[in-house]
Amino acid sequence: MTRELSSGLRAVAVTLVGFGVAYHVLVWGVAQVFFPQQAAGSLVRAADGTAVGSTLIAQRFVRSAYFHPRPSAVGYDAAASGGSNHGPGNPDYRDALRQRADAIQERERVRRAEIHVDMLTASGSGLDPHISPPTASLQVARVAAARGLEASAVGRVVEAQVQPPLWGFFGKSRINVLELNRALDEAFGRPHAEAARGAHGATR
């Protein structure tokens, strides 16, 4: 038995150093050299160099002048991510659907049938950075009005931000909300401070 134990412990030591440490350091080293931006978390920086977020992580947008991301079950908390874990029959889930549909209808002034599923449902991670193209189109009118722009001008920026599926068929068409909003700011300048900020149809 002691021989077994000593073999076992040696196996533990060798594999722990090899796979627990060396493997990690190898991957980290190569990633830091060849993919430094991604390795650090794909951070997006403002003109003065400070980080304003990550392209891969959704952040809260409630102002009328910005496109809004999908609802989040964790309030966009990127240190405690998660989904709602609601089943389709859960009454809380159904209530949330109704509330969000009402809020979107009021904010965007559209018919219910134009609202798509991704805008009504919480993402699995709570940090989904994308929305579908129809959901973006839904918000164009409101964003344009808030910024005093033509809807077509905003629509063009949206079009340019659509990412197609991989090789045309794998995955879905999507638009990164943070990148879209930054593109808007870059093209048309940052919007003025809003008069009434309040709890604008919270996208939670």
Partner 1 sequence: MVLDIFAIAFTIGLAIAMSLPLGRYMARVFLDRPTWLDRALVPVERAALRAAGAHAAEEQDWRAYARSLLVSNACMWVVALAVLVLQGVLPLNPDGIAGMGPTLAFHTAVSFVTNTNLQHYSGEAGLSYLSQMMMTWLQFVSAATGIAAFVAIVRGLGGSRIATLGNFHADLMRAAVRILLPFAVALALLFAWQGVPSTFAGAVQVETVEGDVQVIARGPVAAMVAIKQLGTNGGGFFGPNSSHPFENPTPLTNLASILAILLIPMGLIWTSGEMLERRGFARMIFATMLALYIPLLVVIVRAETAPPAAVLGVGADAAQGSMEGKEVRHGAALTGLWAVSTTITSNGSVNGMHDSLTPTGGLVALSGMWLNNIFGGVGVGFINMFVFIVVTTFLAGMMTGHAPALLGKKLEAREMRLASMVLLLHPLLILGGSALACWVWTSAPAAADTLGWLGNPGARGFSEIVYEFSSAAANNGSGFEGLGDDTAFWNIATGLVMLLGRYVPIVAPLALAGALGERPTAEETPGSLRTDTVTFAAALWSVVLVLGLLMFLPVAMLGPIAEALTQAA
H or E element in which residue 38 lies: helix 36-39
**Are 94 and 100 contacting, i.e. CB atoms less than 8 angstroms apart?**
no
**What's the first-to-final CA gap in the chain, in angstroms?**
58
Which part of the chain contacts partner 1 (CB under 8 A), choosing from 145-153, 154-162, 169-177? 169-177
Place of tokens 């160099």: 49
Q: Which of 64, 103, 108, 128 binds partner 1 (CB under 8 A)?
A: 128
Q: Which of residues 10-69 bind partner 1 (CB under 8 A)?
A: 10-16, 18-21, 23-24, 26-28, 30-32, 34-35, 38-43, 50-57, 59-63, 66
Q: Which of residues 108-127 bind partner 1 (CB under 8 A)?
A: 112-118, 120-127
- Contact code string over 175-204 relative to partner 1, x by CB under 8 A: ---x--xx--x-------------------
How many chain residues bind partner 1 (CB under 8 A)?
Answer: 104
- Contact code string over 65-94 relative to partner 1, x by CB under 8 A: -x---x-----xxxxxxxxxxxxxxxx-xx
Could you give the C-alpha distances from 114 to 53, 135, 183, 186, in angstroms and in order?
30, 9, 25, 29
Choice between 36 and 152, CB closer to partner 1 = 36
**Are 202 and 62 contacting, i.e. CB atoms less than 8 angstroms apart?**
yes
Work out the angle between the directed axes of helices 133-147 and 151-161 (0-180°, nearest 10): 140
